[in-house]
Amino acid sequence: AAIGNNAGGGRAGALSPAPVTEDLQKIDVNPPKGTRDFPPEDMRLRSWLFFNFREVSRLFGFEEVDFPVLESEALFVRKAGEEIRDQLYCFEDRGNRRVALRPELTPSLARLVIQKGKSLSLPLKWFAVGQCWRYERMTRGRRREHYQWNMDIIGVPEVMAEAELISAIVTFFKRLGITASDVGFKVSSRKVLQEVLRRYSIPEALFGKVCIIIDKIEKLPLAEIKKELESVGVLEEAIEQLLQVLSIKSLTELEEILGDSGEAVADLKQLFSLVDKFGYSEWIQFDASIVRGLAYYTGIVFEGFDRGGKLRAICGGGRYDRLLSTFGGDDIPACGFGFGDAVIIELLKEKGLLPELGLQVENIVCALDPGLQGAAATVATILREKGQSVDLVLESKPLKWVFKRASRINASRLILVGDSEWQKGMVGVKILSTGEQQEIKLDELD
Ligand SMILES: CC(=O)Nc1cnc2ccccc2c1
């Protein structure tokens, strides 16, 4: 029956007399601007993607966690000029509380770690797959929500944690058939910037702001970047040195500039040596221009990129050793990454790696006449209790209709409940791929 403005309610088929109701305007059946529905075909792809997120997390011994989509706005009010802050989906609730739809998962994770405090034994290896939100004023048609996979390691100060996280993402890419010639990781450390800023005795407090400005270096003209840096108090000479450091393309060159006593060089050398032991060196490259756009990163930062250069960053992450203490928690080291559900799908499409995901049902069961509807229900229960999927035909339908549905849902077998067979405790079984038909005793159905 066509779904329509069935004002009278009840069975759409039989037009029951519609009681007098207000004139029902047809509601807008599209989802809110910037959001998506997931009809079955799209939901199958999403479930497949999330299954792979979860499988990799399991392979790495991570435990799943989740948090409310709605958080106190205070969790996200960082003052470093981040885009994620400018686009915060925040509002005042009916209790006059300032709240926000989470734009990312890391602050919630930090909140939960602090809440659980001493009862947690470190290190923690937690992962989450959650919907995140943003509110863009000029609705450039960009999405206002996406799903993000996060993996975080809490309580490990060494760069072994970052190497492990990147290893997890490499494992994920490999599972999907993506290779090191399709994507790579640009890796750097914010300690590079830190060491330069210290040389010019620029106060630590500016560190976050400077990183956020630098992160826009490929989106804004250089003059604009310099202006913004000057406006937060970075002097001309320091700016030159910063920009020079960001163009370094090798660790040896970095060492020449920064010397070999700083943490930045030590961390990066250690990371590259561990990556070699993990066996994914061909996926990784040092790139001093990588800073990432979140203010709380303090050390190694990385992002996955497509070597074709057509797509935005696939994923990104890094070390955030100060986040928990800024929330009033202990000084616990942490690192993690976020992996969005949009760019990866574009990449898979481009590489012809999208999986063919059809609906699969093992059995379609139907009664050959209305009096056997109950018998068909009994057969359905027997098969389901054996762990077999059953699409039970719920109304009496002509066989032509049943065959059409059987092929649409990709059923393997058609189970026909007919009078003469039922009298003998049997049902008709038709293997739809071969057309082979036989009568089987009910208790021999497997
Ligand atoms: C490509 C894409 O959908 N990006 C996207 C979409 N929604 C978001 C929502 C919150 C934060 C980041 C987001 C990023």
Nearest CA to ligand 1 atom 8: 145
Nearest CA to ligand 1 atom 7: 145
ipTM: 0.93
User: Distance between CA 417 and CA 70 in Å, rounded?
Assistant: 51
Q: Are 439 and 429 contacting, i.e. CB atoms less than 8 angstroms apart?
A: yes
Which are the contacts of 106, defined by CB distance < 8 A and separation ≥ 6? 150, 152, 294, 296, 320, 323, 336, 338
Tens digit of pLDDT at every position of the chain (446 positions) = 344 444 444 444 455 666 666 667 889 999 999 999 999 999 999 999 999 999 999 999 999 999 999 999 999 999 888 999 999 999 999 999 999 999 999 999 999 999 999 899 999 999 999 999 999 876 677 999 999 999 999 999 999 999 999 999 999 999 999 999 999 999 999 999 999 888 888 888 889 999 999 999 888 999 999 999 999 988 888 888 888 999 998 999 999 999 988 999 999 999 999 999 999 999 999 999 999 999 999 999 999 999 999 999 999 999 999 999 999 999 999 999 999 999 999 999 999 999 999 889 999 999 999 999 999 999 999 999 999 999 999 999 999 999 999 999 999 999 999 999 999 999 999 999 999 999 999 989 88
Nearest CA to ligand 1 atom 2: 342
* Neighbouring C-beta atoms of residue 410, cutoff 10 Å: 13
Q: Are 231 and 213 contacting, i.e. CB atoms less than 8 angstroms apart?
A: no
- Cα(137) to centroid(ligand 1), Å: 14
Q: Phi-psi bin for 151: left (phi > 0), alpha (psi -120 to 50), beta?
A: beta
Q: Are 262 and 281 contacting, i.e. CB atoms less than 8 angstroms apart?
A: no
- Cα(141) to centroid(ligand 1), Å: 12
Which are the contacts of 167, defined by CB distance < 8 A and separation ≥ 6? 60, 278, 280
